[in-house]
């Protein structure tokens, strides 16, 4: 069924999507993504690049370290809930090689996202990815080479903590240029399910940044809750940071709808941005994500704000609409 024929909410802004990884050509990926947006009533989407570093991954993910992180959380439930745990424990070398293959498959350079956005008639808004291989100077050059809404940092894939001193020139630049910082929070699939490997992705590490950069808009992706092992793992911590700092927002991508309701109750809806994380939640369409917000037991003005108005206000302030 076509989007236009479907009842429901239109004009949604999805603040967290990625290019479909099976469509390698950025223009083809943009067309595919726009068809998905049309079927979900999504008018515009923030498209985020993913740039891990294989060299850094190999330095950090030694078989010994990965086995130790797995062993720290080993119990029957964990064993059932983390796909591939058996391989990680019994043949970490093979598992690490498989992680490397997956990282390569899912890498999306910032330039590709920029190209996809260029061919979207203004419907896709590009966000660059931090890239440890480029270093701080290289990342700054990249940010200056095209018009991005902002930069995303993946403390899991990038084996870093956002408040590290060396990243400060990037944060200064984003703040000066009225660009945003999106930070992946919670855990991540595979070896990053182990708390020992996702400490850098705790929302509390954003506190000092929010304080030192009051004009920098920071978006806590996934509200600290991304985890198959412990869904909602750092959720309360995310709410504390959102409540405390005016410049800190959060997106709802891959967050359990129940937690979104709790967030509205505890911190209000003004700084919550709808995100689907399409196509990364397997078996879950952008339409499903929109409908999950519409089904929440919250006021309709809160739904309206989360699905569109909060993002619209932010994008207008930053010169994107
Ligand atoms: Zn994502």
Q: Give the pLDDT confidence of 283-297 residue by residue, as tens digits.
A: 899 999 999 999 999
- The structural domain count of the chain equals 1
Distance of CA 240 to the CA centre of its chain: 19
Distance 275 CA to ligand 1 centre (A): 9
Q: How far is CA 176 from CA 51, 144, 310, in A?
A: 24, 12, 22
Distance 85 CA to ligand 1 centre (A): 22
Q: Is residue 319 part of a domain?
A: no
The pLDDT tens digits of the residues spanning 226-257 come to 998 888 999 999 999 999 999 999 999 999 99
pLDDT at 3: 39
Phi, psi of 286 (to 5 degrees): -65, -35
Distance 17 CA to ligand 1 centre (A): 6
Q: Read off the tokens for 78.
A: 């964990």
pLDDT at 155: 97
Region 204-224: mean pLDDT is 97
Q: Is residue 4 part of a domain?
A: no
Q: How confident is the model at residue 195 (pLDDT cuts 50, 70, 90)?
A: confident
> How much of the chain exceeds pLDDT 70, in percent?
96
The pLDDT tens digits of the residues spanning 265-321 come to 999 999 999 999 999 998 899 999 999 999 999 999 999 999 999 999 999 999 998
Distance 104 CA to ligand 1 centre (A): 16
Distance 277 CA to ligand 1 centre (A): 5
Q: Is residue 6 part of a domain?
A: no
Q: Which residues constitute the domain of residue 153?
A: 27-312
Lowest average pLDDT, out of 66-75, 78-87, 110-119, 252-261, goes to 78-87
**Start-end of H helices in the chain:** 26-40, 54-60, 63-72, 76-81, 85-90, 92-106, 110-118, 135-144, 168-176, 207-212, 235-244, 257-267, 286-294, 300-304, 310-317
Distance 278 CA to ligand 1 centre (A): 7
Distance 188 CA to ligand 1 centre (A): 10
Q: Is residue 202 part of a domain?
A: yes
Using CA atoms, how far apart are residues 252 and 306, in angstroms rounded to an integer?
9
Distance 109 CA to ligand 1 centre (A): 14
Distance 91 CA to ligand 1 centre (A): 28
The half-sphere exposure of 293 on its side-chain side, counting CA atoms within 13 A, is 33
Region 16-34: mean pLDDT is 94
Long-range contacts for 295-298 (Cβ within 8 Å, ≥24 apart)? 295/257, 296/257, 296/260, 296/261, 296/264, 297/261, 298/261, 298/264, 298/269
Q: Is residue 73 part of a domain?
A: yes
Using CA atoms, how far apart are residues 181 and 167, in angstroms rounded to an integer?
12
Q: Is residue 1 part of a domain?
A: no
Region 171-186: mean pLDDT is 98
Using CA atoms, how far apart are residues 151 and 184, in angstroms rounded to an integer?
11
Say if residue 75's pLDDT is above 80.
no
Q: Read off the tokens for 208.
A: 């000092």
Distance 305 CA to ligand 1 centre (A): 21
Q: Is residue 173 part of a domain?
A: yes
Q: Is residue 146 part of a domain?
A: yes
Distance 16 CA to ligand 1 centre (A): 6
Angle at the Cα of 297 from the Cα atoms of 294 and 301, rounded to 5 degrees = 60
With residue 48 as reference, give the H or E element that holds it: strand 42-48
Say if residue 1's pLDDT is above 60.
no
Distance 246 CA to ligand 1 centre (A): 23
The pLDDT tens digits of the residues spanning 137-149 come to 999 999 999 999 9
Tell me the CATH number at 91: 3.20.20.140
**N residues, the chain:** 321
């Amino acid at each position: 069924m076509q989007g236009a024929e479907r009842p429901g909410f239109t004009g949604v802004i999805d603040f967290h999507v990625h290019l479909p990884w099976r469509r390698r050509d950025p223009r083809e990926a943009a067309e595919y993504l726009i068809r998905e947006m049309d079927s979900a009533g999504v008018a515009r989407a923030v498209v985020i690049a993913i740039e891990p570093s294989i060299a850094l991954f190999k330095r950090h993910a030694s078989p010994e370290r990965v086995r130790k992180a797995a062993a720290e959380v080993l119990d029957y439930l964990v064993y059932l809930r983390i796909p591939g745990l058996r391989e990680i424990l019994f043949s970490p070398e093979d598992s690490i090689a498989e992680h490397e293959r997956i990282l390569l498959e899912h890498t999306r350079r910032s330039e590709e996202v920029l190209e996809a956005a260029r061919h979207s008639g203004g419907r896709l808004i590009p966000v660059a990815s931090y890239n440890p291989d480029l270093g701080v100077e290289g990342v700054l050059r990249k940010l200056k080479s095209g018009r991005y809404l902002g930069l995303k940092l993946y403390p899991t894939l990038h084996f870093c903590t956002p408040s590290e001193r060396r990243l400060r020139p990037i944060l200064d630049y984003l703040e000066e240029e009225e660009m945003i910082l999106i930070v992946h929070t919670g855990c991540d699939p595979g070896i990053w399910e182990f708390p020992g490997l996702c400490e850098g992705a705790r929302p509390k590490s954003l506190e000092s940044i929010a304080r030192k950069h009051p004009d920098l808009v920071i978006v806590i992706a996934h509200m600290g809750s991304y985890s198959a092992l412990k869904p909602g793992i750092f959720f309360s911590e995310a709410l504390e940071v959102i409540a405390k700092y005016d410049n800190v927002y959060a997106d709802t991508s891959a967050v359990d709808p129940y937690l979104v309701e709790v967030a509205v109750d505890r911190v209000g809806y003004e700084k919550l941005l709808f995100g689907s994380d399409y196509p990364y939640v397997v078996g879950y369409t952008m339409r499903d994500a929109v409908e999950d917000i519409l089904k929440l037991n919250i006021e309709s003005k809160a739904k309206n704000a989360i699905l569109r108005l909060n993002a619209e206000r932010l994008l207008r302030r930053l010169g994107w609409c």
